[in-house]
Amino acid sequence: MTRQRIKPIRSIVGLGLIVVLLVATPSGLAETIQRAPCEAVESGDFERYRERQLATLKAEQAAATRQGLSVRIVRDLDSDLGTESDYLARQQPGVRCERIVYESDGLKIRGFLWTPSALAKNQKIPIIVFNRGGSGEDSKLRPNTQFGFERFVRAGYAVIGSQYRGNDGSEGSDELGGADVRDVLRLATIARELPFADANNLFAMGYSRGAMMALSALRDGATFNAVALVGLPSDFRTSQFDRRFSPSSPQMAAARAQRSAVLWAERLDTPMLLLQGSGDPLVSTAEQTLPFAARLQALGKPYELVVYEGDSHGLILNGKDRDARILNWFERFRR
C-alpha cells in the first residue's frame, strides 16, 4: 500500500509524562490460568479463513455503498491477505498458540495466548492484551486470528485475548461492555503475572467492540503503557445502537452512557492510537471517530488519529500498515 492512500487527521498532542502503576498481586497468580496447545492447522483452513474475510468485506462494502460512503471495491483479496503459501508460512515454528481458561468473577472464561516459541529461560517480553470485536460467537478469537498475531509475536511481543463471558464455551452472559469488562481487567492482571511477562510493558489493542472494552478497562483501573484502537464506537447514544439498547428505557440510557467513551474521555490519560476506515459502515467516522478525537484534543489528551481512505471496518485492505503503525506506537511507550 502506498502512503498516499492514508490520510492522517490528527497528530499526537500533550504527551507529558506517562506513569504506569504496577498493581500488587498475590504470588503464583499466573497458576490460575490453564493453558493447552491450539489444534494443528487443518486442510482447508486457509480457504475458510479467506472466505470469512471476503464475506465480511463484501458485506461492509455493500453497506458502505448504501450509506453513500466512498469505498475501495475489492473482489479478490490475494494482494491484501496473501496466498495459501503465505498463510502456511506464517504457521511455521516461531509462534506458539495456546488456548487458555481463566477465572473472572468466579466464571470460567476462555481465550487465547500467542507467544514466541523460543523464549529463553528467564526472558521477559512485553504483553499485548487483545480485545476482540463482535458479540456472541461473531468475530470470536480463533487460532489463526490475524495469522496468530504473527507480526506482533515475531516483533517480540506476546498476545493474550479473552473471548469474554458467554462466548465460545465461557460461562456467564455477554453484556457487550457491562460486567464483561471485568474479564478484561482480570486478564490484564493475569498477563502481568505470566512468568515471561515484562510487567513494565503491558499494552492493549482493541477492534470495534473490543476498542470500547479496552477504554472501559482503562476507566475502571487497568494500566497500560499505550493502547491501539481500530474502528472504535465511542458514542453508544447514536441510533445505530437502538436495537441493542432501547432508546425509550431510562435503564438503557445509563447503559449507553457507560459504554460511550466520549462522555468520560477526561478519565483517559493513556496514549491512544485511533485507526479508522473512511468507508466504515459500522462505525461512522463522522459520528464516532472525529467527535471522540475532537474531545481528546480539547482535553489535551495524548492521542494520534489515522483515517485510511476507502477502507472498511477492520482495515483489511491496509492490514500491513495498520499493524506496523500499532507496533511503532507501542515501541514509543516501552520502558
pLDDT digits (tens, 9 = 90+) for 215-243: 999 999 999 999 999 999 999 887 666 56
pLDDT class of 125 with cuts at 50, 70, 90: very high
The answer to whether residue 23 is domain-embedded is no
Distance CA 335, CA 319 (A): 26
pLDDT reading at 31 higher than 90: no
The answer to whether residue 21 is domain-embedded is no
The answer to whether residue 288 is domain-embedded is yes
pLDDT reading at 148 higher than 90: no
- Determine the 3-state secondary structure of 227 from DSSP: strand
Distance CA 164, CA 309 (A): 32
pLDDT class of 39 with cuts at 50, 70, 90: confident
| pLDDT tens per residue across span 174-202 | 988 899 999 999 999 999 999 999 999 99
Q: What is the pLDDT of residue 239?
A: 63
pLDDT reading at 41 higher than 90: no
Count CA atoms within 13 Å of residue 69 on its CB side: 26
- The average pLDDT across 315-332 equals 93
Across all residues in the chain, what is the average pLDDT? 83
The answer to whether residue 305 is domain-embedded is yes
- The average pLDDT across 304-323 equals 90
The share of the chain scoring above pLDDT 90, in percent, equals 54
pLDDT class of 88 with cuts at 50, 70, 90: low
pLDDT class of 20 with cuts at 50, 70, 90: very low
* In 208-294, beta strands by DSSP E: 227-230, 272-277
Domain of residue 292, residue span:
3-16+28-332
The answer to whether residue 240 is domain-embedded is yes
Q: What is the pLDDT of residue 256?
A: 85
How many structural domains are present in the chain? 1
The answer to whether residue 191 is domain-embedded is yes
Q: Which residue has the higher pLDDT, 88 or 292?
A: 292
Only one residue has cell 476506515, namely 277
Q: What is the pLDDT of residue 12?
A: 36
pLDDT reading at 94 higher than 90: no
pLDDT class of 108 with cuts at 50, 70, 90: very high
- Determine the 3-state secondary structure of 1 from DSSP: coil
The answer to whether residue 39 is domain-embedded is yes
Q: What is the pLDDT of residue 139?
A: 82
The answer to whether residue 100 is domain-embedded is yes
Nearest to 237 by CA among 217, 252, 222, 223: 252
Q: In this structure, what CATH number is given to the domain that contains residue 321?
A: 3.40.50.1820
